Chains A and B, each alone.
Chain A
């Protein structure tokens, strides 16, 4: 059973009756490998659709969660249960609880770090003094406004004044990881604990490099929850900034103050071209810098020539893309021309563009440029009846994700092992033309009705 991964939290939703026979189908070896490769912040099993479970079934799942906790240092546990199930699980596992219990799914996000929830207020109620304190500490560390209810009456009287209510919950230790999320086309890495030489191991450099490749320009390190950074940590950030400079990439650091590092190291970071802010809020208020993420794409210094492999994968990319578009829009896409050239088009602003990078045995960037109204057509299935421009971009991103999944399947069938980046979405041709990847590649022009559509594939 595949988990749903949202904001770097992976949740499994088993249904019906859970026992020793079917528990192994809830978290399979394949699911475990996927989780290990995707490095989420938290892995939870929602019990909201479970009608009945026995000890064998729940023990098997607890065992797999413990494995994942050890393997990828993630926050693991069960959520969405009532008080009876909570008490029953606590008594089943008595003194050997290697996982957490969080009453409702949305509260898992309070403890994970991928979703920004600053300024949210929380009231905690628990009979267990040590748990109460542990929960409070974890949430305070997340910069949330926490109040511990004095007793049950205090809790019942005041809970309506809070954004979240935490009760019937049990948490173990939350290990440190590097969390990633995207806001305004800016990639934000959230770090925690100490920033030292360990960062070279925990930071996903491949993800970073490929994000640059598909056009992300600003990378922000949120160090608000970091307790201190030493010279190795500072060197790591400086290196990222210097390496990224040739691609026009800016590194931003938020929340690194004099309590966390020396003024000398702060000076070194600034000398390496890193932009320093007190916190994320003040960074996002600096419109001049933030707006750069949308108007200017990266300039890749190293230009590579078209290689044979790109040409050989072109039919697969075209077939996967066109088939998906035709199925979802119910319109025919007619191929007009295929040329090796720089990206050329008369299409201007009524467009939606996705860029996806492939890496591994295949090293390529694929751009799909569609008329805005055609894009709405193909995304119909993913959109609500009324939608905003932002929702259209999100849906188009999902759609591009579906296509890249299909392309990866084609590669796999030819024994080519590759991964794809998340799609980056643009809505202006002028922005995309600044991407180095558009300077030289294979451009395939299509007609959908009387509208133009372009698929551009480059190194």
Chain B
């Protein structure tokens, strides 16, 4: 069984953001792409990661892009910020996935798909909010934490799932009292996302939207739900079992689905 202390222990193992990344983010937040690129260049591993992720087909570059200034320039501030956050994820990620049939390569693919999909949605909804844009990194981060938490009792968890037909989210809840989105919330607080994002995550996991006291509207929640459902329907995710964490409320209108598919087709 997993106590709340165990979960806190796992969360405590998440290291603070390294100085290079913190400074890069600071410059990006000040809209200074050149300074951000100069700082980023100091971390060689980050440079390799940047070039690997931006050259994935979903980013749509025809030629290989390797220069950091060029990468940040092409990406723009929003995507650059998200990729810095994604790189940080790589630092806390296990070398091998044991509970879920997943790999770091697939993880990067999921990160890239979520970043691009979320950016397109926010662009379509005409929303320019740095925090909201970055909040997408919380989903992959939480998946990593779940992988780490389940490791010690892996065999029992997999058998429980098979024989009792419990979803991973149900097992997590029975073992710890937390659901997947509680873990997302804990990480959001640890990474000091503001109250609006915290409220957004709370609303996201509710069956009925609260009409929120926060500024973020229900539309963003609906489209994030569609994006996650879409990504979680992909073969490599279904085969990994990670889709099992998401019980997405099914209250979409036909117009929402049509608009979502239109946004997808632009990517």
Which A residues have a C-beta under 8 Å from some C-beta of B?
Answer: 1-2, 4, 14-19, 21-22, 24-26, 48-49, 51-52, 323-324, 327-328, 330, 381-382, 398, 401-402, 405-406, 409
Which B residues have a C-beta under 8 Å from some C-beta of A?
Answer: 1, 153, 155-156, 159-160, 162-165, 171, 174-175, 226, 229-230, 232-235, 238-239, 243, 246, 248, 250, 252, 257, 261
23 contacts between A and B (CB under 8 A): A4-B165, A15-B229, A15-B243, A15-B246, A16-B233, A16-B243, A16-B248, A18-B233, A21-B235, A22-B233, A51-B250, A51-B252, A52-B257, A52-B261, A327-B1, A327-B153, A328-B1, A398-B163, A402-B159, A402-B160, A406-B156, A406-B159, A409-B155
A157 to B7, CA, bound (A): 55
Chain B residues within 8 Å of A18, by CB: 233
A111 to B30, CA, bound (A): 65
- Contact A1 B238, CB 8 Å, known A15-B233, A22-B233: yes
Q: Which residue of B lies closest to A405 (CB)?
A: B159
A402 to B166, CA, bound (A): 12
- Contact A17 B156, CB 8 Å, known A48-B250, A405-B162: no
A330 to B1, CA, bound (A): 7
CB–CB B160/A15 < 8 A: no
A-B pairs with the 6 shortest C-beta distances? A16-B233, A16-B229, A17-B233, A25-B238, A4-B165, A25-B235
CB–CB B232/A15 < 8 A: yes
Partner of A381, one of B175, B238, B243, B248: B175
New A-B pairs, 11, CB < 8 Å, besides A16-B230, A51-B229: A16-B243, A17-B229, A22-B234, A22-B235, A25-B238, A51-B250, A51-B257, A381-B171, A382-B164, A398-B164, A406-B155
A15 to B242, CA, bound (A): 12
CB–CB B238/A22 < 8 A: yes
CB–CB B257/A401 < 8 A: no
Chain B residues within 8 Å of A406, by CB: 155-156, 159
A410 to B165, CA, bound (A): 21
A296 to B132, CA, bound (A): 66
CB–CB A17/B230 < 8 A: yes
Chain A residues within 8 Å of B238, by CB: 1, 22, 25-26
A26 to B229, CA, bound (A): 15
Chain A residues within 8 Å of B230, by CB: 16-17
Chain B residues within 8 Å of A24, by CB: 235
Chain A residues within 8 Å of B226, by CB: 51
CB–CB B252/A16 < 8 A: no
Chain B residues within 8 Å of A51, by CB: 226, 229, 250, 252, 257
